[in-house]
Amino acid sequence: MASLVHGRAGVTLSSDASLSTNRVERPTPDVLPVDVLEGAILSVLRQGADDLGARWAIQARSVLLLDQTDDQEPEQVTDAEGLVNALLGDASAGESVPEHSIGLGLRFGASAFARGVSLHHVMKGLDLLTAMTLYAMESAIGQVEVPTVNAADGIRLSRRLQSRAALLSLAATQGYMQAYAETIREGFRHLRHDLRNPLGTIKSVLALMDDESVPLEARVNPSFRAMASRNARSLEELIADRLSDAAALLPVVAGQDVSVRAIACAVRRELRADAERRGVSILVDQGGAHGRLDAAGLELLLRSALQVALQECESGDQLRIGFEQPDDRVGVVVSCESGRSPIRDASALDHLGRLAGQIGAQIAASESVVVSIPLRPGDHARPSADRERSLREAGGLRDGETRHDVRGAREGHHGQAGAH
């Protein structure tokens, strides 16, 4: 009898095969070149995972817009080596991700929330880790010999890393949102308790005033009416304060308590490669306000403005970022050392103005370009004990430029090769 072949699965049933045992012969699959490449590269990278994690931990401080003293290690980057190994994965397990890496992502997201970091910047921090790991893989290729690989294998390897990074980001988002939800629940528990106290008093007073078994002179006692009035006012104040529009969002969502200079330095880092290609330097002045504001919105607008300014610069130009603080706002001033306006394109200014309107900011241009955004009101929510303690422990950023410009000897922003 002719053999029946299922070619794709590699399953062959012949006439003399034992049907009683249903024996199936499965050939051993060939080892793919990308598997060999991944195993060789990962063996190199794991030897330097602690160094890569340490460098990411330093750079992540400015990306996450964290304020801290020099000797304080932020909670969310203390296990940096573990996060690096989670991205590297296990070459012997193909594209599977160790279960512990999901736990790392959950803890990373929850810790970032406790420190008051926005979800936008949590994702930026993980993107930075992915970029630095990709650069390390690129550098490691020169240290291994796998002659049969080609460009497609390199792309496949990058896709594997991207898949692990996506899972790590998903876990971090889940951890962040779980911590956010728990803080919301705790806030509502406090609010229910605080509302029930005056409401209970009012209900008790009304019950006494309606109780016919109580003497009339007691039921009409003016102190009962005064007590009900006081507690009604307390209810009104609680509703106005704790259920207001300003209190509708937790501060970590409504705005971060950050240094404006830290945002400016983070934007400069993002645009360093573009500035170096154009031969333009960007200087950031000392100072700048520190307060609760829409850090992600200011970062997006300032980056857009600087990108336009860089396009109008010539080689050798120098852009300077300064700071001002009008009433209830913070301002970032972009100027050109030559004295000309850094942005002269009217259509670009119109576009920036529309973008500013979408995020509640303002932009004005003359001899300099001023990007301003409102300072947010204080923290009306009741954060969890861990988050409250973390916020109390946060200190101020030092002014040293290395806080924002740390990179390896051959690395630029995000670990890419830099121009020196």
**Where does residue 400 rank: exposed (0-12), middle (13-18), buried (19+ CB within 10 A)?**
exposed
Q: Which two tokens stand for residue 353?
A: 């103005």
Residues 46 and 98 grouped into a single domain? yes
Three-class DSSP category at 333: strand
Structural domain includes residue 410: no
Residues 145 and 189 grouped into a single domain? no
- pLDDT for the residue 281: 94
Residues 125 and 46 grouped into a single domain? yes
Residues 207 and 271 grouped into a single domain? no
Residues 124 and 165 grouped into a single domain? yes
Which is more confident, 417 or 157?
A: 157
Residue pair 420/139 in contact by the 8 Å Cβ criterion: no
Structural domain includes residue 413: no
Distance CA(18)–CA(10), nearest Å, equals 18
Q: What is the CATH number of the domain that holds 139?
A: 1.10.490.10
- pLDDT for the residue 240: 84
Among the ranges given (18-32, 83-97, 105-119, 302-316), the one the predictor scored with the smallest mean pLDDT: 18-32
Give the number of other CB atoms < 10 A from CB of residue 29: 8
Q: Which of 122, 132, 121, 143 is nearest to 44 (CA)?
A: 143
Residue 313 has pLDDT above 80, yes or no: yes
Q: To the nearest whole number, what is the mean pLDDT of the chain?
A: 75
Residue pair 319/306 in contact by the 8 Å Cβ criterion: yes
Distance CA(64)–CA(124), nearest Å, equals 7
- pLDDT for the residue 385: 39
pLDDT in tens, 249-293: 665 555 567 889 988 998 998 899 899 999 999 999 998 888 888
Strand 281-284 versus strand 318-324 pairing type:
parallel
Q: Which two tokens stand for residue 238?
A: 């609680």
Long-range contact set of residues 240-247: C-beta below 8 Å, sequence gap at least 24: 241/380, 242/191, 242/194, 242/380, 243/191, 244/380, 246/377, 246/380, 247/380, 247/381
Residue 85 has pLDDT above 80, yes or no: yes
Residue 403 has pLDDT above 70, yes or no: no
Q: What angle do CA 244, 250, 253 make, to 5 degrees?
A: 120
Give mean pLDDT, residues 324-340. Answer: 87
Residue 10 has pLDDT above 70, yes or no: no
* H or E segment to which residue 102 belongs: helix 99-114
Q: Which domain holds residue 275?
A: 256-375
Which is more confident, 145 or 44?
A: 44
- pLDDT for the residue 30: 57
Q: What is the CATH number of the domain that holds 289?
A: 3.30.565.10
Structural domain includes residue 114: yes
Structural domain includes residue 396: no
Counting the structural domains of the chain, the total is 3
Structural domain includes residue 200: yes
Structural domain includes residue 153: yes
Q: Which two tokens stand for residue 106?
A: 């959950």
Per the listing, tokens 């209810």 go with: 235
| Paired strand residues for 333 | 322, 370
Question: Which bin fits 307, alpha (ψ -120 to 50), beta or left (φ > 0)?
Answer: alpha
Instruction: Give the confidence band of 117 by pLDDT, cuts at 50, 70, 90.
Output: confident
Residues 191 and 176 grouped into a single domain? no
- pLDDT for the residue 253: 59
Residue 17 has pLDDT above 80, yes or no: no
Give mean pLDDT, residues 289-301. Answer: 85
Structural domain includes residue 115: yes
The residue among 180, 212, 230 that closes a domain is: 180
- pLDDT for the residue 250: 63
- pLDDT for the residue 369: 93
19-23, 167-171, 405-409: range with highest mean pLDDT = 167-171
Residue 227 has pLDDT above 70, yes or no: yes
Residues 39 and 90 grouped into a single domain? yes
Distance CA(134)–CA(316), nearest Å, equals 32
Residues 260 and 226 grouped into a single domain? no
Distance CA(82)–CA(177), nearest Å, equals 22
First to last CA, the chain: 73
Give mean pLDDT, residues 152-175. Answer: 87
Residue 147 has pLDDT above 70, yes or no: no
Residues 41 and 138 grouped into a single domain? yes
Which is more confident, 118 or 399?
A: 118
- pLDDT for the residue 212: 83
Structural domain includes residue 8: no
Residues 335 and 319 grouped into a single domain? yes
Residues 210 and 309 grouped into a single domain? no
Give mean pLDDT, residues 44-70. Answer: 79
Which is more confident, 297 or 12?
A: 297
209-213, 292-296, 313-317: range with highest mean pLDDT = 313-317
Within its chain, how far is the Cα of 322 from the centroid? 25
Residues 242 and 302 grouped into a single domain? no
- pLDDT for the residue 58: 85
Amino acid at 418: G
Give mean pLDDT, residues 293-312. Answer: 89
The residue among 200, 220, 251 that closes a domain is: 251
The residue among 131, 164, 180 that closes a domain is: 180
Distance CA(283)–CA(318), nearest Å, equals 7
Give whole-number Cα distances, 183 to 177, 178, 187, 206, 255, in Å: 10, 9, 6, 35, 16
Q: Which of 123, 127, 210, 114 is nearest to 172 (CA)?
A: 123
| Paired strand residues for 97 | none
Residue 345 has pLDDT above 70, yes or no: yes
* H or E segment to which residue 293 belongs: strand 290-293
Polymer length of the chain: 420
pLDDT over 90, % of the chain: 17
- pLDDT for the residue 99: 61
